[in-house]
Every structure is written in structure tokens, then in C-alpha cells.
Chains A and B, each alone.
Chain A
């Protein structure tokens, strides 16, 4: 069953604007991670937020986590053409000694010049 669900599926914004993507999940998690995938390439780890954290920043990225609503958001400020990519959330649920990682289906972000 799908754990992380990103919203929206696709997003187009003007360069310089902020982009916000959301992720909802169903079960308790240890942490939630966001990845970026450029077209035809592998995924790149962007940022991780633990279940006991509410907000985290890394450069132009801001991630929030609301465990009561089982949701997270990724904000990219002052977007650039190079931010055009697909963005995935991945939830990590530790089961015994194993990390159970489930990816969402992604948000396709397109930055317009």
C-alpha cells in the first residue's frame, strides 16, 4: 500500500517564486526524507526530518512535519531553472532491525523562465 502521497502531482511556477509540495502518509514513522530526481537520473537525497522535529532548513529548502496530521511539506524558496525535477518523499518505519522505506509517487516541478 502506498505510504507517502505527494501533492500536487505536477507544479509549474515562475522562476523566483516559491514552490511548495506536500506529502501525506498513513502510519507512524521514524523519519521522513525528501529526494530530487532530475529527468532520467537517479534520486538525490535532499533533507531528512525526524519524527520528533517539526521544521528543518537546508539552504533554500524548508521542510515541516506534522505527525498529528501525518503530513510533511517541502518549500523551495526563490526557485531556479535548475530546480526543475521530480521530488519524492520517503517514509522510514523501523520494523525490528530493518528500516522499511516507502516512496511516494512524486511531484513534477517545472520552473518557467
Chain B
């Protein structure tokens, strides 16, 4: 089975800190995504990447950046954490463009980030 691993289940960070959320997948997927999930708002797409060193903005990229130096790893960076970035962060992937219909997303277990 494809595995998407998020390095931390729970994180507590201080306002203004630079925060790195790591996501690694082990099945050579090209497409990787970062979502945040908030009560009443559902899942919202932050950034995604179709290949190494490629990145595209999602619906809510403000306050975030990403890094994809290797195919298997997609990092989400909060440049200066703020309390409104307290959320559940979900990483997802699927093989290549046009295969979402076949496979759907594989999600990681999520990182619950609290910014104090």
C-alpha cells in the first residue's frame, strides 16, 4: 500500500516562529498536495506540486510556502506562524496527472498544529 507519512501528529509552536511540516510518500507519486482542515470550512487547498521543484498556489497560499527538492518529500513552511494558522494540516498525493480518476488521493494521518 502507498504510504504518506507526516512527520508529526501534534505540534505546538509560538507566534512568529518558522514552522516546517514534512510529508513523505513512498510510491513515486508525482503529485503532492497540502490542505488545511478547519471546523465549518472543510478542506482547503494551500499548495500543490506536480513534480520536483515545481509548485502551484492553491486556494489559500497566503502565509505559507512549500519546498519540493525531492520527489518523495513535500514540505509546507509557515514563514512566521500566527494563531490563525492553528489547524489540522493534511498532506495527500496521487501518481501522475490524469490518474486521480483511477486512484483518488492517498492522505497522510495529519498534523494538528497549535500556534500560541
Contact = CB atoms under 8 A, between A and B. Distances in A.
Interface of A: 2, 30-31, 33, 35, 40-45, 48, 50, 88, 90, 92, 94, 97-99, 101, 103-106
A42 B101 contact: no
Interface residues of B, number: 23
Contacts of A33: 104
A101 B107 CA distance: 14
Contacts of B41: 105
A74 B49 CA distance: 31
A79 to B, nearest CB: 23
Interface stretch (B67-75, B79-87, B108-116): B108-116
Of the candidates A40, A42, A44, A106, the one having the most CB atoms from chain B within 10 angstroms of its own CB is A42
A42 B110 contact: yes
A104 B70 CA distance: 31
A101 B105 contact: yes
Nearest to A105: B42
B104 A48 contact: yes
Contacts of A2: 42
B42 A106 contact: yes
A31 B101 contact: yes
Contact of B42 (A92, A97, A99, A103): A103
Given A40-B110, A41-B109, A105-B40, A97 B101 contact: no
B43 A103 contact: yes
A99 B104 contact: no
B97 A98 contact: yes
